[in-house]
Amino acid sequence: MEEAEQALIRVIGSKGLLAVLQAVKPASNKQASMVTITKDGMNIRWEDESKSLQSSIFLNSEVFAEFQVPWVRKTFGLHFHTFTDTLTVFASTSTSDLTIRYPGPNEELTFELVEAISEQQLCTYARINTLDLDLSPEISEYWQEPSSYFLAPGAMLREAIEDLEWAACSGAQTQGSVTVHLKRSPPSITLSASDAAELSIKLPVGDLAGFMCTEAEVYHKYKYKLMRAAFSNLPSAKEAATQMSTKVTVDSSGIMKVMHMVPLFGGGASQGNPLGPSGPNLSQGFSRRGSVHFFLLPQDVVIEYDGEDDV
């Protein structure tokens, strides 16, 4: 295969890239994801086996030290855990640049790291077999306006969801639910659970970067395990936590969209909050952050992807 037909992606500080990818933690080690590479960047999409939760990670081309893509668009599947495990090996053994290429001779994704040791060059190489994969249509296609939203520090929301676990779940069971209650006047946001016990957490509105409630009240329930997946796997390092912003949007039918902007430290992440009242602000460092999205269906709502839906 001609080298010109390959995408070449060079990563500086693969630990930062790994931190963004670890915001998504599929329940099964065999869970597959769909990767799309375009000239604009790389998108990794995954869906929960219940099909009630979908996530995607978008990495802008400017995140990378080098991003050469000779074609308009290519899509392939791979096992998500295999991808992150491979990056973990490289991130733990060296701080040198990591080069990723696609496709290899057998349509695989390849990794190469070259480092100098005692005046000699050591090359570490790995490859991941890709898959043919079909995912369900995106939940976002069923989005209905008007929508309400709030913007908050990601660490605040992660802590709130983790605090609700004992009230939402009994023992090892994670089948409880979390109620999200937005009120327009006076502005308030309350997260509550009452399955194993009762607990309500009112978010401090003064600490929010933005808030809009399109109805007098917005009230929806979500499965706790899906809320935990969407909020509890964010980077916990102090530097990342203080600069991580999250926007939560709820449409008129209760579909929730969660967008985390996670800084890629070690790769030149800029300072400041990249989220304004209307969404990402490119002038404040969006290109140096990974964008992690989750779409959650409300409890007891199932989309029939053959064209009929309950939303």
124-178 tens-digit pLDDT: 899 999 998 887 889 999 999 999 999 999 889 999 999 999 888 865 555 799 9
User: What are the Cα distances from residue 153, in Å, to 127, 242, 244, 271?
Assistant: 37, 7, 6, 14
Q: Which residues of the chain carry a pLDDT beneath 50?
A: 1-3, 267-287, 308-309, 311
- Let me know: does 249 contact 214? Beta carbons within 8 Å: no
- Give the single-character DSSP code of 47: E
**Lookup: tokens for 32:** 């597959």
Q: What is the pLDDT of residues 165-191, one digit of tens each?
A: 988 886 555 579 999 999 999 999 999
pLDDT at 124: 87
pLDDT at 275: 36
Q: What is the pLDDT of residue 286?
A: 40
Measured distance CA(220)–CA(192) in Å, rounded: 11
pLDDT value of residue 296: 95
pLDDT at 274: 38
Specify the pLDDT at position 95: 74
In 176-309, where do the E strands start and end?
Answer: 177-183, 188-193, 199-202, 210-212, 217-223, 245-250, 256-263, 275-276, 279-280, 289-296
- Sketch out the chain's domains with CATH numbers: 3-128 (3.10.150.10), 142-258+275-296 (3.10.150.10)
pLDDT number for residue 259 = 95
Q: What is the pLDDT of residue 210?
A: 94
User: What pLDDT does residue 171 have?
Assistant: 58
> What pLDDT, on the 0 to 100 scale, is given for residue 242?
58
List the beta strands (DSSP E) in 130-171: 148-153
